[in-house]
Amino acid sequence: MQSRIAAIPLLILFPAALVFADTTPKAAHADIVNSQGAKIGSAKITSTTKGVQIAVAVSELTPGEHGIHIHTVGKCEGPAFTTAGGHFNPTSAHHGIHNAQNPNPHLGDLPNLVVDENGKGKASFSVEGVTLDDGANSLFHEGGTSIVVHAKADDLMSDPSGNSGDRMACGVIEK
């Protein structure tokens, strides 16, 4: 009987204690800029049970399919955005879901982004295995990560980056 009485104040205090103890971000975002540094879009990233969901909205791009990936460095220096490094690949996999070699794909590989005739593209991608928490698969690993949009479609099979061409836009993933 005594333990049941003691449990009542604990139930009241515990939710408050969780709020202060848990510093893991439940969401992240990125401002996406073009090669001139002008903001042309954004990404909202939320935690899911299997990974993260990335909702992207961009404008001022050429109509058609564009490769889009999570890159392994959180640094977007235009105009070429080479500072963003290669694809986020903590599992040492090959590029693209259709790559003949295993394992694949890179954790940072995403389906192509479709841009309409007005230059706008909007999509939401479910990415398994990626986390906002700690560890090698975290979007907040040392040096951070970024989202990069390319000039051409990703063929989803060719190492190292699917022949998707120049880097047109980039956004550092931030808390």
What lies within 8 Å, CB to CB, of 170 at 6+ separation is 32, 33, 71, 76, 78, 81, 84, 146, 147, 148, 149
Of the two residues 32 and 148, which places its CB atom closer to Cu ion in the complex? 148
Return the one option of Cu ion, Zn ion, none that residue 148 interacts with (CB less than 5 to 8 A, by type): Cu ion
Structure tokens at 49: 């049970």
- Interface with Zn ion, residue 106, by CB under 5 A: yes
Considering only CA atoms, which of 32, 28, 27 is closest in space to residue 115? 32
Of the two residues 94 and 140, which places its CB atom closer to Zn ion in the complex? 94
Site for Cu ion in 136-155 (CB under 5 A): 148
Q: Which residue is nearest to Cu ion (CB)?
A: 69
Of the two residues 5 and 111, which places its CB atom closer to Zn ion in the complex? 111
Report how far residue 175's alpha carbon sits from residue 172's, in angstroms, rounded to the nearest whole number. 10
In contact, 154 and 171? CB cutoff 8 Å:
no
Of the two residues 95 and 167, which places its CB atom closer to Zn ion in the complex? 95
Q: What's the full length of the chain, in residues?
A: 175
- Interface with Zn ion, residue 95, by CB under 5 A: yes
Query: Cα 97 to the chain's mean position, in Å?
Result: 17
In contact, 107 and 130? CB cutoff 8 Å:
yes
H helix runs in the chain, sequence order: 2-21
Rule CB under 5 A: choose which of 40, 41, 61, 69 binds Cu ion.
69
Rule CB under 5 A: choose which of 30, 61, 74, 87 binds Zn ion.
87
Rule CB under 5 A: choose which of 66, 109, 113, 168 binds Zn ion.
109
Contacts to Cu ion by CB under 5 A: 69, 148
Positions in the binding site for Zn ion (CB under 5 A)? 87, 95, 106, 109
